[in-house]
Amino acid sequence: MINPATESRGGVSLFARLAIVLLASFLLFATVLLCLSKQLNGNYQDELTQRLHLNLAQHIVHEGPLFIDGKPDPAAVERAFHNMMILGKGFEFYLLSPTGELLNFSAPADKIQRQRLPMTAIQQFLDGHYQLPLRGPDPRSVDRNKIFSVAPVNIDGSLMGYLYIVINGEIYDQLAASIAPQTTVNQAMIFASSSGGFLLLALLGLLFWLTKPLQRLASELTELKRKGFNGSTLQLTDGRSRELNQINAAFNALSDELQRQYQQVKSVDEMRRELLAHVSHDLRTPLAALQGYLETWQLKQQQGQTADPQYIEIARRNADKIYKMVEQLMELARLESAQVPVTIETVAIAELVQDVLQKYQVAANDKQVLLDVQPKDPNLKVAADIEKLDRVLTNLIDNALRHCQAGDTISVRITPNQHDQLAIIVGDSGIGIPAADLPHIFDPHFKAANSVRGDSAHSGLGLAITKRLLALQQANIEVRSQVQQGTEFEFALPRA
């Protein structure tokens, strides 16, 4: 039973958890997307700018010699630097030796961090083995790289050095840094507003999509709670998602098991009430007789008269009847509990039938009834619980003998059927059973209209016990009968 306090206890709902996970995932995705977009945009801008100025250094070198007498010409270098400043202040010019040493440059001396540049990127540019954007060393930083243009400076066929131009230099970085925060804020606001709108719509859609089947599930559970076990079924309908179908299937399986157990408990309770009613009825007569004869014997003794010993004998027989009735009731109760162990073994069925018939041979002779089994083949064997099978045969033979008269016959026939089984048919030529009573013949305490009880205790439990003993061995029993022509009980067991 669910504790109401536990049921109403606060906690994070499923939707709230999903919303938090979705929001965190979305923010993480947005952050990664912004970083990646910024990186890709930077690469795109660098590639575009480098392509536009790819041959810039070569054009400047062709305008005039930058070296005189094997040394840099300050005037020519200054003039070249001045002309390039007209194009833009984002360019930085460096005159390098063939080994990469700085010979002259446009930047203030205190800004230079490297006096000699690695030649790897420069050589790739000159060889044409590169993919744009290609970045080379920035003399103003010990580890920063920039897009560039470079061209060799040759005098009379001799390499004097290189003109190395950094595109988008430090001035460009400063201007970009001053503009970037505002641009980034604007982009972030646009992105945040659009993302917030998308996220709101997504959450509303998710809320609708999630709560609709859950609400239907909750309403169905409420309806099932209202019906209880008095309803015809306790089943949830199929959902639209695999998860809900799994929940429904698990609940339906549990409901079926609970329904089965409830019906079993209900049936046992009804049987208990019926049992008490039948016990009180069946035991009343032998108990009254037992008490009456014992009181008569006691009265004779008190009066000094000699009591007839037959009183004690009759009292003993009634006590035997009561004992047998109680034994049958206890046996039926054990069988109904479905907790009776079954031990299947190989049984020579013809020999077992002959043993059972032998127990009733004297009583049959007294009533002039013939007992027979066909065939008497010891090789006919079945897989069964021998103790329970003996009890079944005993009940059927006892029942048949009570309903036979002088000259009747009780026969047990053993025949194979098409299911690799042996059919055991216990038939008699006795008084038979009325057709109206046949559907109830295996009900506990039922007695046919022409039933014969005899002198022993017969409370109508024998055939009910027989049916349950066979059910434990996965076998069914059938009955065929005609009044004044006889009755046949048939069941089948697997061959061993």
Same domain, 370 and 456: yes
**Predicted confidence (pLDDT) at residue 492 exceeds the cutoff of 60:** yes
The structural domain count of the chain equals 4
For the chain, report the end-to-end CA distance as a whole number of angstroms: 50
Same domain, 354 and 469: yes
Same domain, 352 and 478: yes
Secondary structure of residue 92 in the 3-state scheme: strand
Q: At 70, give phi and psi (nearest 5°).
A: 80, 5
Which of 168, 203, 236 is the C-terminal boundary of a domain?
Answer: 168
Cis previous bond, 286, omega within 30: no
Which of 128, 149, 168 is the C-terminal boundary of a domain?
Answer: 168
Question: What pLDDT, on a 0 to 100 scale, did the predictor assign at position 4?
Answer: 43
Give residue 18's pLDDT band: very low, low, confident or very high (50, 70, 90): low
Question: What pLDDT, on a 0 to 100 scale, did the predictor assign at position 16?
Answer: 63
239 found inside a domain = no
**Predicted confidence (pLDDT) at residue 305 exceeds the cutoff of 60:** yes
- Of 5-14, 50-59, 336-345, 352-361, the one with minimum mean pLDDT is 5-14
235 found inside a domain = no
Read off the pLDDT of each residue in 50-57 and give the average, rounded to a whole number: 82
Percentage of the chain with pLDDT > 90? 29
**Predicted confidence (pLDDT) at residue 157 exceeds the cutoff of 90:** no
Q: DSSP string of 257-300?
A: HHHHHHHHHHHHHHHHHHHHHHHHHHHHHHHHHHHHHHHHHHHH
Question: What pLDDT, on a 0 to 100 scale, did the predictor assign at position 5?
Answer: 42
295 found inside a domain = yes
462 found inside a domain = yes
Read off the pLDDT of each residue in 13-42 and give the average, rounded to a whole number: 69
Q: pTM of the full predicted structure? A: 0.46
Of residues 296 and 489, more confidence is placed in 489
Instruction: Give the model confidence (pLDDT) of 218-242 as tens digits.
Output: 777 777 777 766 655 556 666 556 6
Of residues 280 and 201, more confidence is placed in 201
Residue type, 415: T
Beta bridge mates, 278: none
Q: Which domain holds residue 428?
A: 345-494
Spatial CA neighbour of 396 closest among 342, 365, 338, 441: 441
Of residues 327 and 457, more confidence is placed in 327
Same domain, 442 and 369: yes
In our burial notation (b when 16+ CB lie closer than 10 A, e otherwise), range 90-101 reads bbbbbbbeeebe
Give residue 298's pLDDT band: very low, low, confident or very high (50, 70, 90): confident
Same domain, 184 and 111: no
243 found inside a domain = no
Same domain, 434 and 316: no
Question: What pLDDT, on a 0 to 100 scale, did the predictor assign at position 111?
Answer: 87
Place of tokens 């909750």: 218
Instruction: Give the model confidence (pLDDT) of 427-467 as tens digits.
Output: 999 999 999 999 989 887 777 666 665 544 456 778 988 99
Same domain, 63 and 212: no
Same domain, 380 and 488: yes
Same domain, 127 and 212: no
Angle, helices 349-359 vs 386-402, to 10°: value is: 50
Question: What pLDDT, on a 0 to 100 scale, did the predictor assign at position 180?
Answer: 55
- Of 8-17, 31-40, 180-189, 219-228, the one with minimum mean pLDDT is 8-17
Which of 192, 221, 250 is the C-terminal boundary of a domain?
Answer: 221
Give residue 9's pLDDT band: very low, low, confident or very high (50, 70, 90): very low
